[in-house]
């Protein structure tokens, strides 16, 4: 009886941590980092961003920044009036994608957004997990070469959970 309770608790913990383990850290611009003259829209094309993933903006502190803006701010390269609450300035800024939908980021320094193409727009999909919907019937996994972190791979978890269920039943 104690073994069954232990296995059931293990199963609950294993299922609840799958979304945490499966999040991906995206280094914005890969080896280029967050810099002028790079096409961030092309970089984002083909990538799938999900709730729980992280965007990591790497740049020289003081040379650039990251501003969270709305669609209008993105189109006009306009720094929000409350930039102290919307801006990031560490040079190694980590933004957790906490909700689905469109997200927009620009560099608010000088004309980096307008002339330097330092702007990024992405669509964040709901979190991947057991029972969570995906963005399409055949989602395209993010290649490990395009991001750091752990890609969402569930087949091994499903095998472990299935084996635990069988062990509990017999």
Is residue 170's pLDDT more than 90?
A: no
Q: Supply the Cα-derived Rg of the chain in whole angstroms.
A: 20
Say if CB 118 and CB 105 are below 8 A apart. Answer: no
What tens digit of pLDDT does each residue of 112-159 get?
A: 999 999 999 999 999 876 444 444 443 443 333 334 443 344 445 565
Say if CB 76 and CB 52 are below 8 A apart. Answer: no
Does residue 4 sit within a domain? no
CATH number at residue 65: 2.60.40.420
What tens digit of pLDDT does each residue of 14-62 get?
A: 544 444 457 999 999 999 999 999 999 999 999 999 999 999 999 999 9
Q: What is the 3-state secondary structure (H, E, C) of the chain?
A: CHHHHHHHHHHHHHHHHHHHHCCEEEECCHHHCCCCCCCHHHHHCCCCEECCCEEEEECCECCECEEEECHHHHHHCCCCCCHHHHEECCCEEEEECCCCEEEEEECCCCCCCCCCCCEEEEEEECCCCCCCCCCCCCCCCCCHHHCEECCCCCHHHHHHHHHHHHHHHC
Say if CB 87 and CB 93 are below 8 A apart. Answer: no
Please name which of 67, 45, 49 lies closest in space to residue 57, comparing C-alpha atoms. 67
Residue 4's pLDDT band (cuts 50, 70, 90)? low
Query: What is the predicted pLDDT for the residue at 155?
Result: 46
Query: What is the predicted pLDDT for the residue at 6?
Result: 53
Residue 162's pLDDT band (cuts 50, 70, 90)? low
What tens digit of pLDDT does each residue of 63-104 get?
A: 999 999 999 999 999 998 877 677 999 999 999 999 999 999
Query: What is the predicted pLDDT for the residue at 158?
Result: 60
Cα separation, 50 vs 123, in Å, equals 8
Residue 168's pLDDT band (cuts 50, 70, 90)? confident
Residue 160's pLDDT band (cuts 50, 70, 90)? low
Indicate the pTM of the whole model: 0.67
Range of the domain at 37: 22-128
Does residue 9 sit within a domain? no
Number of domains composing the chain: 1
Q: What phi, psi does 68 have (nearest 5°)? A: -85, 120
Cα separation, 112 vs 19, in Å, equals 35
């Amino acid at each position: 009886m104690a073994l069954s309770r232990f296995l059931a608790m293990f199963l609950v913990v294993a299922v609840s941590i799958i979304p945490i383990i499966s999040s991906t850290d995206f280094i914005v611009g890969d080896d280029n980092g967050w810099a002028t003259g790079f096409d961030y829209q092309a970089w984002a094309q083909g990538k799938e961003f999900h709730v729980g993933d992280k965007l990591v903006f790497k740049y020289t502190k003081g040379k650039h920044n990251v501003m969270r803006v709305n669609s209008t701010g993105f189109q006009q390269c306009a720094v929000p009036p409350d930039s102290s609450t919307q801006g990031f300035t560490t040079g190694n800024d980590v933004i957790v994608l906490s909700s689905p939908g469109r997200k927009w980021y620009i560099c608010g320094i000088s004309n980096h957004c307008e002339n330097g193409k330092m702007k990024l727009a992405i669509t964040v999909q709901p979190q991947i997990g057991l029972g969570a919907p995906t963005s399409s019937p055949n989602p395209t996994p993010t290649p490990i070469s395009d991001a750091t972190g752990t890609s969402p791979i569930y087949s091994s978890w499903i095998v472990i959970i299935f084996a635990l269920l069988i062990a509990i039943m017999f």
